[in-house]
A and B are shown apart, each in its own frame.
Chain A
Amino acid sequence: MTAVVLIDTLLLLLVTVTAVAIIEVRNLYASAMLTSVYSLLLALVWVNMHAMDVAFTEAAVGGGISTILLIGTLVHTAREEKPLKQRVHWRALLLTALCGVALIYGTFDMPRFGDPKAPIHHFRVPEMMAQTVGFANSTAGKQPPPAGFDPAEYRSFNGAVASVPVDPTDTGWRENSVLAQHGIMLPKVLGDEVHAAHPAEADHHQHPADDFNGHVPNSVTSLLAAYRGYDTMFETTVIFTAGMSLIMLLRRPRREGYLQRSAPLADQPVLRVVAKMSIPFILLFGLYVITHGELGPGGGFQGGVVVACAFILFALIFGRPALYRVLPPPVCDLLTGLGVLMYAGTGAACLLLGGNFLDYAQLNSLSPGDGEALGMTLVEYGVGLTVSMVMVTIFNQLAEEQAK
Chain B
Amino acid sequence: MSWVYLATAVALLVGMFMILIRAIAGPTVYDRILATNALGTKTIVFVTLLGYVSGRTEFIDMAIIYALVSFITTIAILKFAEKGRLD
Instruction: Point out residues on A near B: beta carbons under 8 Å.
Output: 3-4, 6-7, 10-11, 13-14, 17-18, 21, 25, 29-30, 32-34, 36-37, 40-41, 43-44, 47-48, 50, 52, 55-56, 59-60, 63-64, 67-68, 71-72, 74-75, 262-263, 265, 271, 278, 282, 285, 289, 296-298, 302, 306, 309, 312-313, 315-317, 319-320, 395-396, 398-400
Contacts and interface: CB of A to CB of B under 8 A. Distances in A.
A36 B76 CA distance: 12
Nearest to A71: B80
Contact of B80 (A50, A64, A74, A278): A74
Interface of B: 1, 5-6, 9-10, 13, 16-17, 20, 23-24, 26, 29, 32-33, 36, 39-40, 43, 46-47, 50, 54, 56, 58-59, 61-62, 64-66, 68-73, 75-77, 79-81, 83-87
A301 to B, nearest CB: 12
Nearest to B76: A68
Contacts of B16: 14, 41
Nearest to A313: B72
Contacts of B13: 7, 10-11, 14
A400 B87 contact: yes
A43 B46 CA distance: 11
Contacts of A296: 58, 61
Contact of A297 (B24, B29, B33, B58): B58
B76 A37 contact: no
Contacts of B56: 50
A296 B80 CA distance: 36
A152 B79 CA distance: 64
Contacts of A11: 13
Nearest to B40: A40
Contact of A21 (B24, B73, B83): B24
B50 A33 contact: no
Contacts of A312: 72, 76
B68 to A, nearest CB: 6
A39 to B, nearest CB: 9
30 contacts: A6-B6, A7-B6, A10-B10, A10-B17, A17-B24, A29-B29, A29-B80, A30-B32, A32-B77, A33-B23, A36-B70, A40-B70, A55-B62, A59-B62, A64-B73, A67-B77, A71-B77, A71-B80, A262-B87, A263-B87, A271-B75, A298-B61, A306-B68, A309-B72, A313-B75, A315-B87, A316-B79, A320-B87, A395-B86, A398-B86
